[in-house]
Structure 1
Amino acid sequence: MDIQTKCIHGDGAAYDTTGAVSVPIYQSATFAHPGVGRSTGFDYTRVQNPTREHLEKTVAGLENGVDAMAFASGMAAIGTLLELFSPGDRIVASDDLYGGTHRYFYGISVKNGLSFDLVNTSNLDEIRAALTPETKAVFVETPTNPMMQVSDIAAIAGICREKGLLLIVDNTFLTPYFQRPIDLGADIIVHSGTKYLGGHNDTLAGFLVAGGKEVAERLRYIYKTVGPCLAPFDSWLILRGIKTLAIRMEKQQETALLIAQWLTKQKKIKAVHYVGLPSHPHYEISKRQASGFGAMISFEAADAPTAVRLLERVRLIRYAESLGGVESLITYPLLQTHADVPEEQRLKIGITDRLLRLSVGLESAGDLISDLSAALGE
């Protein structure tokens, strides 16, 4: 079945006899047993709920995984993921990570005995050099947030198989519509479902998708024990969002390319980071492992005052955190998404007071360009 059809119909299961086209919201904390030792398949919503099960099967199907777990946020998903590891374990991770992930690694997991080796995961030699006998996994964002670096998933999967490591890929930016890391050898996929999967900036969600049965069972045990599950109503909202994922991703990407091309011609813009530009250093890798480039752009203003002026002058584009929704949002990573990343690390990867991150929405490309042009004073 084509992925566009999968987005609309999910796993195809029906949970009632009414003929409802929209999956019902089972707003129930618990479920009655038909008899001793018997179950309807649902006992307690922390463990499973019919609305959430439909969502999880839908996301697992889109990613070609064996199972998916829906969480109350992307960070709840990452927190659960890290419970797979024990004190003394090391994880090699992209040095250009979402600031919240970096904060969780160093603010929570380090005190619990985990260690992290941050490298440029676009460079296979750096990954190999960082591996130790204590390394248990490689954690990759691709494209990275916010510098839009791309890692070769299949090549890294080969290294991980050779060393017996888990490969974890954050697929938030491209979604399964454009990129399916399990098909390329990844073991676990992470999503902030708040972003493109939901698509409307109206709810929080996160996902872990397992590529194999063993890791799925381990994650399920942690999931039901820790209890960070997504509520039934929010599960329904994400299901509603996924129905339009395909058409949104195509349109947002189309507009993003036009804006990225326009930005490259502006005197007050020093650099544009968009994987869909042929000038991007990882353009060919992107074409090989993904069917699209997404709608995230980072760009560097000529100086800090220009960056701040643009943020304060945009009107149609909203100066706000988050991404992936129908509304275009612009973010200042230095003060927002990456504020908790140490300055030395920020500067090393290029997060300066000139850098801005733009999530392109569904507005007219002409209107968005006019808004940016007016804000730049062009």
Structure 2
Amino acid sequence: MSAKDAQSLETICVHAGVVPDPQHGAIMTPIFQTSTYVQPAPGQPLTYDYSRGGNPTRAALETSLAALERAKHAISFASGLAAEQAIMQALEPGARIIVSEDVYGGSGRLFRKLFARYGFQFDFLDLRDLNAVAAAIDSKTKLIWVETPTNPLLRIVDIAGICALAKKAGAKVVVDNTFTSPIFQQPLTLGADIVVHSTTKYIGGHSDLIGGALMTNDDELAEKLRFVQFAGGAVNSPFECFMLLRSIKTLALRMERHNSNALAFARALEDSGDFASVIYPGLESHPQHALARQQMSGYAGVVSVYMRRDMEGVTRFFKNLRLLALAESLGGVESLVNHPEQMTHASVPPDLRQKLGINAQLVRFSIGIENVNDLIADVRQALQR
């Protein structure tokens, strides 16, 4: 075990990838805002030749991201969907991919509307049912795409169980770990081959940047993914890399507060009786609470509810909120509320939305780091008004 592996995540957040500037001693990694690099001789760059291929600020970020997921490799991208696209571009055309049926709307759109046109076959399944997954795997299955907790229904998928099935079939497993961050769940330790993050969310944490990342311990996969990063060019700017490095320093602290706030918020809403149901993996009432406790060390900040109102009433509820802002995205320090049916998951086919229960009554909260009592009070006054 290396010194890095022996360190706690709190320490890794503060120190991994960050080395004081040797010229001036700056404690923070500088922003190397450059497109190109002077070479002492043709074809003999010092380290980098062009910032699409490599940049010192991005290299520091990737070192930090790898350490967070206990991975050998991290590859950073301009968005979470750019990272997901890189995974698909590393596959051979004609591959079959099994996907969580309630995968994030943007991921489903990427698969259905873009990559299905290039010979890829996508089978959307309820990955909670391991028997159904086992029955669906065949010789053409190259990838199983897991999201856990899922967005927005917060279903929990047995990562180790899926990985065991995939390994028997020679397939790879991707886990979207955005909803928990590396602080509360580390899929590579459970057998996953690739972890994907929208670093826009908890890792960025301040609703001020867009980014994505892939982490893996597989050298061959890392080489393929880095080639896509270089050839496709969907990389972060040096400034956004610097911003992410800044954000990572407080990630462990922020996640602790997101988690404690969301649990208190979910319990208060459940106890109120004002909602048809409250969904949060940290609640004992969640049907997969035991599995969540087994593979997660915390439950993060997303709480979903079904309201006892029609769409007109739900819209009035949103308008009455004073602290919780109606917006897409999640994971920022400020609390947000979202209507999946008409916002983040509007691209999901209507029949699938109906089957999953992504309807007018479903509301998703992203609980921030404010005083949780203020957030609970905001919901109460909005309901009363």
* TM-score calculated relative to the size of structure 1: 0.98
Runs of 4+ in 1 over 6 A off after TM superposition: none
**SS of the counterpart of 2:146?**
strand
Deviation at 1:13, TM superposition (A): 3.4
2:195 aligned with 1:189, yes or no?
yes
Show the counterpart of 2:3. none
2:353 aligned with 1:366, yes or no?
no
Asked if the contact 1:269/1:299 (under 8 Å) is kept, the reply is: yes
**SS of the counterpart of 1:369?**
helix
Question: In the TM superposition, what are the counterparts of 1:142-181 in structure 2 within 5 Å?
Answer: 142-181=148-187
2:330 aligned with 1:323, yes or no?
yes
1: CA distance, partners of 2:272 / 2:296 = 29
Deviation at 1:112, TM superposition (A): 1.1
1: CA distance, partners of 2:135 / 2:75 = 33
* Candidates 262, 286, 289, aligned match of 1:283: 289
Show the counterpart of 2:213. 207
* Candidates 295, 298, 307, aligned match of 1:292: 298
Deviation at 1:345, TM superposition (A): 0.6
Q: Which letter does structure 1 place at the counterpart of 2:326?
A: Y
Deviation at 1:314, TM superposition (A): 0.7
Asked if the contact 2:13/2:250 (under 8 Å) is kept, the reply is: yes
* Candidates 136, 146, 164, aligned match of 2:142: 136
* Candidates 93, 106, 110, aligned match of 1:104: 110
Structure 2 unmatched runs, 5+: 1-6
Show the counterpart of 2:341. 334
Aligned residues: 378
1:319-352 deviation digits (Å, cap 9, x = unpaired): 0000000010000001100001011111111101
Question: In the TM superposition, what are the counterparts of 1:89-128 in structure 2 within 5 Å?
Answer: 89-128=95-134
1:48-104 deviation digits (Å, cap 9, x = unpaired): 100000001100111011111111111111111110223221100100111000100
Asked if the contact 2:139/2:169 (under 8 Å) is kept, the reply is: no
2:239 aligned with 1:239, yes or no?
no
1: CA distance, partners of 2:309 / 2:94 = 43
Show the counterpart of 2:72. 66
2: CA distance, partners of 1:280 / 1:263 = 14
Asked if the contact 1:168/1:189 (under 8 Å) is kept, the reply is: yes
Show the counterpart of 1:198. 204
Asked if the contact 1:92/1:138 (under 8 Å) is kept, the reply is: yes
CA RMSD of aligned residues (A): 1.2
Asked if the contact 1:7/1:242 (under 8 Å) is kept, the reply is: yes
**SS of the counterpart of 2:174?**
strand
**SS of the counterpart of 1:265?**
helix
* Candidates 352, 362, 369, aligned match of 2:359: 352
* Candidates 313, 318, 329, aligned match of 1:311: 318
* Candidates 374, 380, 383, aligned match of 1:376: 383
**SS of the counterpart of 1:42?**
coil
Structure 1 unmatched runs, 5+: none
Asked if the contact 1:99/1:341 (under 8 Å) is kept, the reply is: yes
Identity of aligned residues (%): 41
Asked if the contact 1:71/1:228 (under 8 Å) is kept, the reply is: yes
Q: Which letter does structure 1 place at the counterpart of 2:303?
A: I
**SS of the counterpart of 1:264?**
helix
